[in-house]
Amino acid sequence: MKIDMILGLQWGDEGKGKIVDVLTKDYDIIARFQGGPNAGHTLIFDGIKHVLHTIPSGIFHKNKINVVGNGVVIDPIIFKNEIEKLKAVGVDLKNKLYISKKAHLILPTHRLIDQASELSKGAKKIGSTLKGIGPTYMDKTGRNGLRVGDVSSENFKEKYEKLKNKHIQLLKFYDFDYDLQELENKWFESIKTLKKFKHIDSEHFLHKNLNQGKKILAEGAQGTLLDIDFGSYPYVTSSNTITAGACTGLGVAPNQINDVFGIFKAYCTRVGSGPFPTELKDNVGEHMGRVGNEFGATTGRARRCGWIDLPALRYAINVNGVTQLMMMKSDVLSGLKKIKVCTHYLNKNNEEIDYLPFEDNELLTPVYDEINGWDKNLMEISSLDEAPKEVHDYIDYLEKKLAVPIKIISVGPDRKQTFFR
């Protein structure tokens, strides 16, 4: 048995959480492989909205194991809050949630460093979620980090103090006031909650289950265009959000990857700073933001909106080896007379290019095809057969241009508003 993957192909917020929830019934284990509480995977069913930051999106299904992999960074305070919210709505977490011993911990001082660093950048800030993600990954690669497995060691407090003192020295370089004591008290109290769950050698656990024929779905966070290597650097996250990130974030070999499900919106959005060639600052962009409720699930910040970008999407498909596509939020385009699709760019020398170059990403001019829109409210349909011809034309157009089958169409936030092709 091999592992399937689900990941975002744009700048995050594509709707990965919903699709993981929809597909979980076909799998035994859901494993999150990177990122941290900068993620906000939103699920809506039975009229209730749920937002998950650290916990895999399969947690609402009975008899399914959810694994937080070694590539994830965990803030115990945010983790504790997630656990309490899930318990409040009756989710039974016992024997369903396992945590890798090798996952790194976000300390209170990581968050303070993140905030101080972003504040010092002024107008050149990168749009950090201020959750301490970047500084935690820096300590991971710098071989200074604290890991989940450390919480059970006799010298855990000693390790904590050593790393905290290093951070306090770093904070002296910033003009930044902070109160650490209150954050520390909450953090250590939250560690007690973290210790209640099963800590595992996750790579061995996953290998064992694969060998037993169990079906595993790997869940990514953020999106391909936020990847630390292949995203719009430096306006990126601090981990590898692509297929290769599952190999290092779960300890699975490349030849164990089977299907790669790529999630994208029927248009584009981006939170924070950075290049966005097809961004709309007009009434159409306002329409997308309003109808699509485009506000970050983690930060609450308004998302920038724009037309779909085929060069960027092809780039993401190639980097990830996507085998199936899933288009989200098609309903948001309802009411638009014309829909534009970016087919290529013009650079500053007026040369035509059909890929994302290293340089001058912010100076690219998009060139568009124009397709007929539709008036019908897609949130009201109960099957794709009820969708207007123009919807099918749009899907067929994208499928032909991208040369990968589009297998799922989503027309609303609820589980039931998800159609298979």
Q: Which residue has the higher pLDDT, 50 or 229?
A: 229
| Catalytic residue (one of 13, 75, 309, 331) | 13
Question: What local confidence, expressed as pLDDT, does residue 360 receive?
Answer: 63
In angstroms, the CA 207 to CA 210 distance is 5
Whether the per-residue pLDDT at 347 is higher than 80: the answer is yes
Per-residue pLDDT of 232-284, as tens digits, reads 999 999 999 999 999 999 999 999 999 999 999 999 999 888 999 999 999 99
The number of beta carbons lying within 10 Å of the beta carbon of residue 403 is 8
Assess whether 13 carries a catalytic annotation. Answer: yes
First-last CA distance in the chain = 25
Please, are residues 220 and 16 in contact by the beta-carbon 8 Å criterion?
yes
**Cβ burial, residue 250 (10 Å; 0-12/13-18/19+):** buried
Structure tokens at 246: 């599952």
pTM score of the predicted model: 0.93
Q: Choosing from 21, 41, 114, 227, which is the catalytic residue? A: 41
Contacts of 160 (CB under 8 A, 6+ apart): 107, 146
- 169/392 Cα distance (integer angstroms): 59
Q: In the numeric block, which tokens belong to residue 201?
A: 């050698």
- 309 carries an active-site annotation: no
> How wide is the angle at C-alpha 81 spanned by C-alphas 227 and 248, nearest 5°?
30
User: Is there a contact between 29 and 215 (Cβ–Cβ < 8 Å)?
Assistant: yes
- The separation between CA 45 and the C-alpha centre of its own chain, rounded to angstroms, equals 20
Evaluate the CA torsion angle 169, 172, 176, 179 in order and state its sign.
Answer: positive
Total number of residues shown for the chain? 421
Q: Where does the pLDDT of residue 62 fall: very low under 50, low under 70, confident under 90, or very high at 90 and above?
A: confident
Does residue 377 contact residue 360 with C-beta atoms inside 8 Å? no
